[in-house]
Structure 1
Amino acid sequence: MISSINPTVKAGTVLIPGVLLGLMFDIFTPLVYLIFIILVTFIFTDISLKRYLLIFTPFVIFVLSFAWARMLYTSETFQGGSVLFEFWHFEVTTGAVQVAISLALRSLCFIALSLLFILTTDSTKFMLSLMQQLKVSPKITYGVLAGYRFLPTFKHELEILRQAHRIRGVGRAKGIKGRIQQFRRYSIPLLANAIRKAERVANAMESKGFTGDRNRTHYHEMKVRKRDWVFFGSMVGTFFLVVFMSYYLGYLNIFGRDIN
């Protein structure tokens, strides 16, 4: 299962194809790799289809609107080919359509790779892996982890503040000025509570001997195993295989230049 892969290796596995896909302007390469990512997601993870679609669908709508705008405002470099149709004063060519579709598919690949990482990675293990494999300072990783853990408590405290204001007869603000005053009423108590919590966490960490030193032992050791490299090689290797297939079939296009 992908959830058991070392988070640092998984992040590198997602990052490399994600960056290289930004160079591909053809349709074939991102389309085939997108299908591969989705197959890997549902075969090697326990993510439910309903949950995945609830997260993925809003991004699809955004990507389609972005691709439509890109098709209408394509630069002269990518406006080659015959004119397919006219929309108001815009002439849409085959080159513009290809660039728009390619952009949409690349964006969907980025989203699919990101979801593969986010939905299968535990935040605590990711921070531990950054400390142990990449030697990131514990001050940074524990600070990020503590802030992430505080988010649910802030949401709960905000709801308590709203209920307290309703009990005291303070209704929902109307207008820009009222919203600014309401923001101040909420932000000051939340900020004060955040400072208190930060001080308590800092005192607790110091009392337990936390100094921020990189040379420290860990109760949970994150190791890079053979299966991690198999996952890395499979994902990255498949990407380069798709690029080779695209080149062999004559589809490969890098920055608007056909490579064949």
Structure 2
Amino acid sequence: MISSINPSMKMVAVLLPGILLGLTYDVFTPLMYFIFILIVTFSMTHISILRWLKLFSPFLMLAVSFAWMTMLYANQTFSGGQEMFRFWLFEVTSGSFQTGVSVGLRSLCFGALSLLFILTTDSTKLMLSFMQQFKLPPKITYGILAGYRFLPVFQHELQTLRQAHRIRGVSRARGIKGSVNQFRRYAIPLLASGIRKAERVSIAMESKGFTDDADRTHYHNMTVKKRDWLFLVLMIGVLIAVFVLSYYFGYLQIFGRQF
């Protein structure tokens, strides 16, 4: 399963296809790879379809908006072809329509790849992998991990502050001035609490030896195994195969240039 893949290798396997897809401006290439991402997501993970659709819906709305704006404001390089329809003062040609659909499909690919990485990656293993595979200093990785762990704490403290204000009769602010004052009432205590927590964590990390020493030992060793390389080859290899098919059928476009 993808959740057992080394996080660093998984990140490379997600980033490289995303970068390469950003070069294409045809419809066939991102559409085929998006279908492949869906197959990988629902066949090699335990992600439920309903949960995935709920998380993917914002990406879908962004993709539609990107496609529509690209159709209306495509430059001369991509706006060739016959006129398909008019919207108010805007003329949508076959070239701008194809470019807009391509941009939308690429956005869907980026969103699907992001969800595939986020929903199958443990944050602790990701930081450990950064430290062991990418040689990121332990001071930075553990600091990021500690900050990430503080997010639920800050959320709980914010709820406590709101309840305390409500008990003391402080009503919800109205207007711009009231919103600014309310923000100050919440921000100053949270900032003070965050500074105190950061100082305690810094002292604790330094006392426990979390320095920039690159030769430190690890309780959990993150290694790159054969399955990690196979996953990387699968993600990039399928994209290359899609590029070849797109070129063979005459669909491939790189920055508006037909190949």
TM over 0.5: yes
Residue 205 of structure 1, CA deviation: 1.7
Structure 1 counterpart of 2:77, which letter?
T
Per the alignment, residue 19 of structure 1 pairs with: 19
Could you tell me how far apart the structure 1 residues matched to 2:28 and 2:144 are? Answer: 39
- State how 1:112-127 maps to structure 2 within 5 Å: 112-127=112-127
Residue 99 of structure 1, CA deviation: 0.2
Residue 79 of structure 1, CA deviation: 1.0
Per the alignment, residue 79 of structure 1 pairs with: 79
Per the alignment, residue 200 of structure 2 pairs with: 200
Could you tell me how far apart the structure 2 residues matched to 1:189 and 1:250 are? Answer: 61
Maintained 8 Å contact 2:3/2:120? yes
Residue 59 of structure 1, CA deviation: 1.3
Residue 210 of structure 1, CA deviation: 2.3
Q: What RMSD over aligned residues (CA atoms) do the two structures have, in Å?
A: 0.8
Q: Which moves more between the two structures, 192-201 or 97-106?
A: 192-201
Residue 139 of structure 1, CA deviation: 1.4
Residue 211 of structure 1, CA deviation: 2.1
Q: How many percent identity over aligned positions?
A: 65
Residue 89 of structure 1, CA deviation: 1.3
Residue 209 of structure 1, CA deviation: 2.4
Per the alignment, residue 44 of structure 1 pairs with: 44
SS at match of 2:97: helix
Could you tell me how far apart the structure 1 residues matched to 2:140 and 2:185 are? Answer: 31
Residue 51 of structure 1, CA deviation: 0.6
Residue 206 of structure 1, CA deviation: 2.2
Could you tell me how far apart the structure 2 residues matched to 1:57 and 1:246 are? Answer: 28
Maintained 8 Å contact 2:139/2:210? no
Structure 2 counterpart of 1:227, which letter?
R
Residue 164 of structure 1, CA deviation: 0.3
Residue 66 of structure 1, CA deviation: 1.8
Residue 207 of structure 1, CA deviation: 2.4
Could you tell me how far apart the structure 2 residues matched to 1:174 and 1:64 are? Answer: 34
4+ runs deviating over 6 angstroms: none
Structure 2 counterpart of 1:207, which letter?
S
Could you tell me how far apart the structure 2 residues matched to 1:74 and 1:85 are? Answer: 14
SS at match of 2:77: helix
Residue 214 of structure 1, CA deviation: 1.8
SS at match of 2:169: coil
Could you tell me how far apart the structure 2 residues matched to 1:194 and 1:214 are? Answer: 29
Residue 183 of structure 1, CA deviation: 0.6
Residue 97 of structure 1, CA deviation: 0.4
Could you tell me how far apart the structure 2 residues matched to 1:220 and 1:33 are? Answer: 35
Deviation readout 1:60-88 (Å, 9 max, x if unpaired): 01210221111011101111110011111
Maintained 8 Å contact 2:33/2:109? yes
Maintained 8 Å contact 2:138/2:210? no
Structure 2 counterpart of 1:221, which letter?
N
Per the alignment, residue 258 of structure 1 pairs with: 258
- State how 1:134-149 maps to structure 2 within 5 Å: 134-149=134-149
Could you tell me how far apart the structure 1 residues matched to 2:88 and 2:203 are? Answer: 64
Residue 48 of structure 1, CA deviation: 0.5
Per the alignment, residue 182 of structure 2 pairs with: 182
SS at match of 1:128: helix
Return 5+ residue gaps in structure 1 as ranges.
none
Deviation readout 1:74-119 (Å, 9 max, x if unpaired): 1011111100111111111000100000000011101111111010
The number of residues matched between the two structures is 259
Could you tell me how far apart the structure 1 residues matched to 2:188 and 2:58 are? Answer: 33
Could you tell me how far apart the structure 2 residues matched to 1:201 and 1:78 are? Answer: 53
SS at match of 2:85: strand
Structure 2 counterpart of 1:56, which letter?
F
Could you tell me how far apart the structure 2 residues matched to 1:183 and 1:212 are? Answer: 37
Could you tell me how far apart the structure 2 residues matched to 1:212 and 1:168 are? Answer: 47
SS at match of 1:77: coil
